[in-house]
Amino acid sequence: EQGWVAAAATSSVRLKFQVITDAATYNYDLPNDGTLTIFPLNMGDGTYTFRIMQNTEGNSYVELTSERATVILESEFAPYLMPGQFCAYTETSACVAKARELTASATNEAEAVAAICTWVASNVSYDNQKAKVLMSTTGYIPDPDDTLSTRTGICFDFASLSAAMLRSMGIPTKILTGYVGTNQVYHAWIMVYIDGTWQTAKFSVSPNTWSRCDVTFASTGATATVGSGSGYTDRYTY
C-alpha cells in the first residue's frame, strides 16, 4: 500500500526483476549479490506479479521464483514519494542535505520545486563523453549523490538527482524515459505534482496536475521544447 516492493537474490549470473500487471511489464536489473533493492508499484491498484529471473545465455532468462499480490495504494502518489533503484537516497544522503538547504526559505511547494530545479539546471553540466560511452551499454543506474558531487551527468542523472531532492522534500515526482523532439531522441525527464504554480521561460508548473520539468534541456538551453512541454512521448515511468 505504500507503493513499493523490494527484492533480493544471489546468483553467479545476471538477474532481472519483473513487475507485471495487465497494463504493462517492467524489467529491472537486480543485483546478484543479495542487495535488497526497492522498485515502485507504478501501475496503480490491481493484481501484480513479481518474478526474479536468471540469465541463461544471451538475452534469455528463466524464472527462479515469483509472487502475486493485490495492490491497493494508500495514495496514487505513494510510489513517487520514496527512493527507488533509479532514485536512490537516504536521510543522510548529500542530495537530501542539499535539497533542505535550497528549500529552507520556500513558503510553498512551488517555491521548493523552483529552487531545486533551477539549481540543478544551473549547476549540473551535460557530460557528452559519458553519453557516448553509455550509448553502447544497457542497465545504467544513476547515482544522485555522485551527480551532485561531480556536477555532471546525462539526462538520466539530471532526472534522478532532481527526483531524489524533490521526493525527499515530500513532493511527488515521477522519473520518465521516452522520446522527444522531431528526431525522437531517447531521453529522461521528471514530472511533479504540486499545490501551486511556477512559470518561467524554462518551466511551466501548474497546480493539482502532473507538470513536466526537463532539467537537462533547461541546463543545455534547449528551451523551445522545454518551455512548451510538447513533443514528448512517455515510455516508462519510475
pLDDT digits (tens, 9 = 90+) for 155-184: 999 999 999 999 999 999 999 999 987 778
- The pTM for the full model equals 0.90
Q: Tell me the percentage of the chain whose pLDDT exceeds 90.
A: 73
Whether pLDDT at 137 is above 90:
no
Average pLDDT on 28-45 reads 95
- Burial (CB < 10 A; 0-12, 13-18, 19+), residue 137, is exposed
State the cell numbers at 231.
Answer: 513533443
Q: Tell me the percentage of the chain whose pLDDT exceeds 70.
A: 92
In whole numbers, what is the pLDDT of the chain averaged over residues? 90
Enter the DSSP assignment of 80: G
The pLDDT value recorded for residue 213 is 87
The pLDDT value recorded for residue 147 is 98
Cα–Cα distance between 170 and 176 in angstroms, integer? 18
Cα–Cα distance between 181 and 189 in angstroms, integer? 13
The pLDDT value recorded for residue 201 is 47
Nearest to 232 by CA among 193, 194, 177, 192: 177
Give me the amino acid identity at 196. Answer: G
The pLDDT value recorded for residue 238 is 95
Whether pLDDT at 200 is above 60:
no
Average pLDDT on 213-233 reads 67
Longest dimension (CA), the chain: 54
SS3 for 87?
strand
Nearest to 34 by CA among 61, 7, 16: 7
Whether pLDDT at 226 is above 50:
no
**DSSP codes joined into one string, 5-21:** EEE--B-SS-EEEEEE-
Q: How confident is the model at residue 212 (pLDDT cuts 50, 70, 90)?
A: confident
Residue pLDDT, tens place only, 41-99: 999 999 999 999 999 999 999 999 999 999 999 999 999 999 999 999 999 999 999 99
Whether pLDDT at 225 is above 70:
no
